[in-house]
Amino acid sequence: MANIVGREPEQKILELAYLSANPEFIALYGRRRVGKTYLVRNYFNHKKDLIFFYVTGMKEGSLTEQITNFMEEMGETFLYQGARLEIRKNWRDTFKTLTDNIRAAPKNKKIVLFFDEFPWMVTKNSRLLQTLEYYWNHHWSRDARIKLIICGSSAGWILKKIINNKGGLYNRVTRTIHLEPYCLRKTKQYLDHAKIKLNHKQVVHLYMILGGIPYYLSQIEPGLSANQVIEKLAFNKDSFLLKEFKNLYATLFGTAGKHVELAKVISSHRYGIGQEELSSKVKDFPSGGRSVGWLEDLEQTGFIIRFKPFSRSKKGVYYKIIDEYSLFYFYWIETIKESLLERGMRKGYWESIQNSSAWHSWAGYAFEAICYKHIQQVSKALNISPTAVPYTWRHVSAKGSNDQGAQIDLLFDRDDDSITICEIKYTDKPFAIDKQYAEKLKQKIDVFKKITGTKKQIFLAMISANGIKKTMYSEEMVDGIVTLDDLFKEE
């Protein structure tokens, strides 16, 4: 395998395609900065007896510009002396030239066609997608040497237009790679590889802001603490995390105003927001397919998750934000953006606010998002069957009612007539369950039983960053504990 960190399953897919005796059509998608181009280029870089044709779309480029770039790369790849080819006027003539070059290439060489950011190449009225359909079906799919990789950051576009295509490309994709951000374990592996030695607590602090995005992680300098890294990347004038936000959403969604507005509204609802309530909070929010499409875009890129609460009385779907960078930006950068652009913040700003209630609230929210992304590690640490279904649950008492409200961060509805209720806590020290908190937990469980009417056995687990302090109440109530170290384990 190539010298690529933490992408073993994806490399295996590329390896199988490369070794295959058949032509291959691979669809690769994943959010901006997640390492799609790096994966493919570095994987094939060390292969022998291979012609590697790489071209990338130009954002907002014209048809002429897209074809010019394509032809120039073709000249570099196939003619070896870098001779300029005559620029074609349309994609049909361009793909005919490419096909002629493929036929003239040595028969013992495999040919990888890597079309990166392909959605950007599909300009209005260009008929590129139809041309791709024709040349794959009538020419390239008959040549066992060819391994075609269509790649894009717009997950929704790749899923709709390539993977789930209902036209000429229906069922043509032979392999699919959804390149996701690193989990905590792979993030630590990446940092270790880069000679950045940080313990689990420091890595989690960085993950709360950068997530598992390789390019963001590549901005970290060795020898700095998590606080120093964030201070440098977020709170200096013209800092990376200040400028990245606009580029991130525009790259993924084009005209991204509604996507940003939706993400911001969802981020302000820690326990999730229903689609009906969401529509009332977003200005000019249309009903029907268009709004659903925006939400699907955010979900497919891993910015939000969709879930159904554990309650038969609640209908419809709810949304929670799980993109660490977006959550961090809305909480800490957007409100002081102008100050950052003008002069940056004073040294020590990020560390100085970590005793504030706002920081503790955000850190708890961000840690919950991390736990939702590591559900498999949580269930494994609690010895819960993989078939158990994770949910969240919330009961808001009616106005004027004497009923108690309750919120459950995470629960597992198990097949063995049981439910495991999880409390998620992010504290610097082991969390202590005292008498007052024990009463709060008992009340929460009682409300849950009453409102849901469940007759299942209830178990209580604590997901606590630094474990829990042994007390008479923890001994009596807690049936399982998940710590940071558990979240860093394999799935």
DSSP string, 411-473: EEE-SSSEEEEEEEE--SS-EE--HHHHHHHHHHHHHHHHHH---SEEEEEEEETT-EE--HH
Q: In 122-212, where does DSSP find H-type helix?
A: 128-138, 155-157, 184-193, 200-210
The string of pLDDT tens digits covering residues 176-187 is 999 999 999 999
Which DSSP letter does residue 31 get? Answer: -
Query: pTM for the complete prediction?
Result: 0.92
Could you tell me where the DSSP H helices lie in 20-170?
A: 36-45, 63-78, 91-104, 118-121, 128-138, 155-157
Query: Which structure tokens are listed for 240?
Result: 């990376």
| The pLDDT value given to residue 282 | 82
CB 266, CB 257: distance < 8 Å: no
Give me the residues of the chain with pLDDT under 50, please.
1
CA–CA gap between residue 209 and residue 199 (Å, rounded): 16
User: Tokens at residue 51, please?
Assistant: 């012609």
Residue 310's pLDDT is 80
Q: Which helix (H) or strand (E) holds 24?
A: strand 24-29
Nearest to 123 by CA among 291, 260, 254: 254
Predicted pLDDT of residue 445: 96
Torsion sign (Cα): 371, 376, 379, 380: negative
Q: What does the radius of gyration of the chain's CA atoms come to, in whole angstroms?
A: 25
Which tokens is 47 given?
Answer: 């292969």
Got the DSSP string for 240-263?
A: HHHHHHHHHHHHHHSS-HHHHHHH
Cβ-proximal residues to 376 (8 Å cutoff; 6+ apart), any chain: 386, 491
Tokens encoding 4: 């690529």
Question: b/e map of 327-356 (b: 16 or more CB within 10 Å)?
Answer: bbbbbbbeeeeeebeeebbeeebbeeeeee
Name which of 360, 365, 463, 446 is nearest 406 in CA terms: 446
> Could you give the strand order of the β-sheet that contains 110-116, starting from the edge strand earlier in sequence?
50-56, 110-116, 146-152, 24-29, 175-178
CA distances 323 to 252, 329, 415, 440, Å, are 14, 10, 30, 30
How far, in Å, are 315, 397, 424 from residue 405 at the CA level? 19, 5, 18
Q: What pLDDT is recorded for position 82?
A: 52
Q: What is the mean pLDDT of the chain?
A: 92
CA neighbor of 485 nearest in space, from 383, 378, 390, 409 = 378
- CA 429/CA 131 separation, integer angstroms: 60
- Token duo for residue 92: 């049909």
Determine how β-strand 110-116 pairs with β-strand 146-152: parallel
Domains in the chain: ranges and CATH: 8-178 (3.40.50.300), 184-370 (no CATH), 376-487 (3.40.1350.10)
Residue 80 pLDDT: 54
Check: CB of residue 486 under 8 Å from CB of residue 183.
no
Number of Cβ atoms within 10 Å of the Cβ of 67: 22
pLDDT score for 336: 87
> Residue 399: its pLDDT value, please?
75
pLDDT of the residue at 241:
93
pLDDT tens for residues 416-474? 999 999 999 999 999 999 999 999 999 999 999 999 999 999 999 999 999 999 999 99
Quick one: tokens of 178? 């959804």
* Residue 491: predicted pLDDT: 82
Sorted by sequence, the CB contacts under 8 Å of residue 189 that are 6+ apart come out as: 5, 6, 182
Query: Which DSSP symbol is given to 390?
Result: E
